Amino acid sequence: MIGGGQAGLAAGFYLRRTGLDFVILDAQDDPGGAWLHGWESLRLFSPAQHSSLPGWPMPATGTEYPSAIHVVDYLTAYEKRYELPVHRPVQVEGVHRGGARLRVDTGQGSWLAKRVISATGTWWQPYLPHYPGRAAFQGRQLHTVEYRTPDELRGRRVVIVGGGNSAAQILADLSGLLGTHVTWVTRRPPRLLPDHVDGRALFDIATRRRAALLNGDGSGDGGVAGLGDIVAVRPVRAARDRGVLKARPLFGHLTKTGVGWPDGAHLDCDVIIWCTGFRPALRHLAPLRLGDRQGHIPVAATRAIGEPRLHLVGYGDWTGPASATLIGAGMNARDAVDVIARDLGARPVHRVRAAG
């Protein structure tokens, strides 16, 4: 297993039940996955009881949606509870074909494996789109992964780029900071989901869509407003009610001092925050030469089509419905481990509900 975050731990839980020998190689010094690196106000989109890995529910918290720190504590305790064999810090440098087994090269030596599960997620591969003049801009440019607290941007003129949840939450974070001027720019007008809709509904929509596709229905269930919309968590609702959750159309280029639009309009700014998403963190799989032009590896369920000894877990809908979420990672991991167990003649995997 490569990656010891939420998807890796979920796969480890199921592998432990099969009786197979396995290890989890994690590049970080501490448990917690990408949740260790989010901004201070980051919260889940779903209540704790709907954000659990298999076998053990996330403990309740005093707020509507758990904080990133609460998630880190949960993942740390989960790893210990199930005595998962995590080796860290171990940086995987490449996965190679080596006869009957795959060879996993690391900075501390090599491992030979009958099967490999890659569960490295996307946080480590931030996406920065190309815009004319980006290299000429003399202010500060951040990606979502580099943002931590609003105080570091106090008194600055900030442009936030992107129409998703991260952009809306960071806008809410900064908009109440005295002396800070924030401009939000998006490719299309942002749409908030109704206040009563959160990650629970989005996961249900993703699951129905996946089932429809598997049944040959290309349309799926569009749900309330689509999966690309913004969840109105409490800080975002507060920003909306203050009247600051408004976006300008996306600019066309950057200048030395700011951003410009095709109609000649210009805005000076000190900081640009690119909330422009991520790509799968799959550089360690490059030696296998499996990737397509979008940076994905074609899969049948979780199994790589070009290398059947490799499974991918937790990267988003292309490897399983909502598999980048806590609850979705568990379902995705179960599917992968079930196939591996059958391939290797191990004990089958059964669906497990979180138990108190």
∠ Cα 50 55 61 (to 5°): 40
- Count of positions (residues) in the chain: 356
Q: For strands 271-274 and 181-186, give the pairing.
A: unpaired
Q: Which range, of 186-200, 313-327, 341-355, averages the lowest pLDDT?
A: 341-355
DSSP 85-127: -EE-S--EEEEEEETTEEEEEETTEEEEES-EEE---STTSB-
CB-CB neighbours of 293 under 10 Å = 5
Higher local confidence (pLDDT), 81 or 199: 81
pLDDT at 273 over 80: yes
Average pLDDT over residues 311-335: 91
pLDDT at 231 over 50: yes
Options 2.70.70.10, 3.50.50.60, 3.40.50.460, 3.40.50.10790; CATH of 140-192+230-274: 3.50.50.60
Residue 54 exposed, middle or buried by CB count within 10 Å (0-12, 13-18, 19+): buried
Q: Rounded to whole angstroms, how far apart are CA atoms 199 and 325?
A: 9
pLDDT at 227 over 50: no
Q: For strands 157-161 and 181-186, give the pairing.
A: parallel
Q: What is the pLDDT of residue 31?
A: 97
Strand, helix or coil at 184?
Answer: strand
Q: Which range, of 40-44, 196-200, 280-284, 296-300, averages the lowest pLDDT?
A: 196-200
Average pLDDT across the chain, whole number: 89
pLDDT at 219 over 50: no
Q: What is the pLDDT of residue 201?
A: 65
Annotated domain spans of the chain? 6-125+278-344, 140-192+230-274
Q: Rounded to whole angstroms, how far apart are CA atoms 142 and 147?
A: 7
Closest CA to 286 of 118, 63, 137: 118
Higher local confidence (pLDDT), 209 or 121: 121
Q: Are 274 and 185 in contact (CB under 8 A)?
A: no
∠ Cα 253 254 258 (to 5°): 135
Higher local confidence (pLDDT), 77 or 232: 77
Share of the chain above pLDDT 70, in %: 89
Q: Are 38 and 166 in contact (CB under 8 A)?
A: no
Decide if 6-125+278-344 and 140-192+230-274 have a common fold: yes
Higher local confidence (pLDDT), 133 or 351: 133
Higher local confidence (pLDDT), 138 or 322: 138
Task: Assign domain 6-125+278-344 to its CATH architecture.
Answer: 3-Layer(bba) Sandwich (3.50)
pLDDT at 221 over 60: no
Residues 6+ apart with CB under 8 A from 128: 134, 143, 274, 276
Q: What is the pLDDT of residue 99?
A: 87
Angle between helices 234-241 and 165-175 (to 10 degrees): 60
Q: Rounded to whole angstroms, how far apart are CA atoms 321 and 54?
A: 16
- CA dihedral sign of residues 337, 343, 347, 349: positive
∠ Cα 260 232 128 (to 5°): 35
DSSP class of 294: T
Take residue 33 and report the two structure tokens written for it. 């996955």
Share of the chain above pLDDT 90, in %: 71
Q: Are 11 and 117 in contact (CB under 8 A)?
A: yes
Within the chain, where are the H helices?
A: 6-18, 68-81, 165-175, 199-214, 234-241, 326-344
The amino acid present at 243, given as its one-letter code, is G
DSSP class of 286: G
185 bridge partner residues? 161, 248
Q: Which range, of 53-67, 130-144, 257-271, averages the lowest pLDDT?
A: 53-67
Take residue 354 and report the two structure tokens written for it. 């979180």
For the entire predicted model, the pTM comes to 0.89
What is the tens place of the pLDDT at every residue in 18-35? 999 999 999 999 999 999
Structure confidence at residue 225 as a pLDDT band (50, 70, 90): very low
pLDDT at 64 over 80: no
Q: Rounded to whole angstroms, how far apart are CA atoms 326 and 44?
A: 10
Q: Buried b / exposed e across 195-216, counting CB within 10 Å, b at 16+?
A: eebbbebbbebbbebbeeeeee
